[in-house]
Chain A
Amino acid sequence: MQPAPALSANGLVKYFGDKRAVDHVDILVPQGSIYGILGPNGAGKTTTLRMLLGIIDPDEGHRELLGTARPRSVGDRVGYLPEERGLYPGMKAREAIAFMGALRGLDWKTGRERADVMLEAAGLGASAYEKIKKLSKGMAQFVQLLGSIVHRPDLIVLDEPFSGLDPVNQGRLEDIILAERDRGATVLFSTHIMGHAERLCDRLAIIAGGKRRYEGSVDEARATLPMQAHYEPREDGGALAAKLPADAVRDNGGYRFAVPEGGMEALLQQLLDSGHGIAGLSLERPSLHDVFVALVGEETVERMEADSDAEQSA
Chain B
Amino acid sequence: MMRFLRKAAVIARRDFLATVFTPAFLMFLLAPLFMLAFATVGGTGARMIADSGDESRTIVVIADAPLAAQLDAEDSRMRALFPEPVAPPPIEIRTPGRDPGAQARALIENESIEIVAVLFGGVDDPHILFAPDGERSANYLGALFENTVEAERAASFGGAIAVPERETIQRSAATISGRQATGFTALFVLFLLTLLLAGQTVSVLAEEKGNKVIEILAAAVPLETVFFGKLFGLFGVALLFVSFWGGIIAFGLSLMPDTGAALAALDPAIGFGPFLALAIVYFGMGYLLLGAVFLAVGAQATSMREIQMLSLPITFFQMAMFGFASAAAAAPGSALATAAELFPFSSPFAMAARGATDPALWPHAAAIAWQILWVSITIAIGARLFRKGVLKSGPSFFRSIGKYLRCGRGSKSA
Residue of B nearest to A86 (CB): B212
Q: CA A55 – CA B214 in complex, angstroms?
A: 11
CB-CB under 8 A from B394, the residues of chain A are: 16-17
Q: Are B18 and A88 in contact (CB under 8 A)?
A: yes
Residue of A nearest to B411 (CB): A17
CB-CB under 8 A from B11, the residues of chain A are: 103
Please tell me if A124 contacts chain B, counting CB pairs below 8 Å. Answer: no
Please tell me if A53 contacts chain B, counting CB pairs below 8 Å. Answer: yes
Q: Are B220 and A82 in contact (CB under 8 A)?
A: no
Interface size class of A (residues with CB under 8 A): 20 to 34
Q: CA A191 – CA B96 in complex, angstroms?
A: 99
Contact of A86 among B18, B213, B393, B414 (CB under 8 A): B213
Contact of A80 among B212, B220, B222 (CB under 8 A): B220
Asked, given contacts A103-B10, A105-B7, whether A82 binds B217 with beta carbons under 8 Å apart, the answer is no
Q: Are B10 and A99 in contact (CB under 8 A)?
A: yes
Q: Which of A12-29 contact B (CB under 8 A)?
A: 16-17
Residue of B nearest to A132 (CB): B211
Q: Are A72 and B222 in contact (CB under 8 A)?
A: yes
Report which residue of B207, B208, B221, B394 has the largest number of chain A beta carbons within 10 angstroms of its beta carbon.
Answer: B221
Please tell me if A179 contacts chain B, counting CB pairs below 8 Å. Answer: no
Q: CA A120 – CA B295 in complex, angstroms?
A: 39
Q: CA A80 – CA B217 in complex, angstroms?
A: 10
Chain B min CB distance to A75 (Å): 6
Residue of B nearest to A104 (CB): B220
Q: Are A103 and B213 in contact (CB under 8 A)?
A: no
CB-CB under 8 A from A103, the residues of chain B are: 7, 10-11, 216-217, 220-221
Q: Are A55 and B14 in contact (CB under 8 A)?
A: no
Asked, given contacts A85-B212, A87-B213, whether A53 binds B10 with beta carbons under 8 Å apart, the answer is no
Please tell me if A84 contacts chain B, counting CB pairs below 8 Å. Answer: yes
Residue of B nearest to A56 (CB): B391
CB-CB under 8 A from B215, the residues of chain A are: 82-86
Chain A min CB distance to B98 (Å): 77
Please tell me if B20 contacts chain A, counting CB pairs below 8 Å. Answer: no
CB-CB under 8 A from B211, the residues of chain A are: 86-89
Please tell me if A275 contacts chain B, counting CB pairs below 8 Å. Answer: no
Q: CA A17 – CA B410 in complex, angstroms?
A: 10
Q: CA A80 – CA B220 in complex, angstroms?
A: 8
One digit per residue, 1 when the CB lies within 8 angstroms of any chain B CB and 0 when it does not, for chain A 38-82 equals: 000000000000000101100000000000000010011000101
Residue of A nearest to B11 (CB): A103
- Contacts A55-B391, A83-B215 given; 13 further ones with Cβ under 8 A? A16-B414, A17-B414, A75-B220, A80-B219, A80-B220, A82-B219, A84-B215, A86-B214, A99-B14, A100-B216, A102-B10, A103-B11, A104-B220
Binding site for A on B (CB under 8 A): 3, 6-7, 10-11, 14, 18, 207-208, 211-222, 391, 393-394, 414
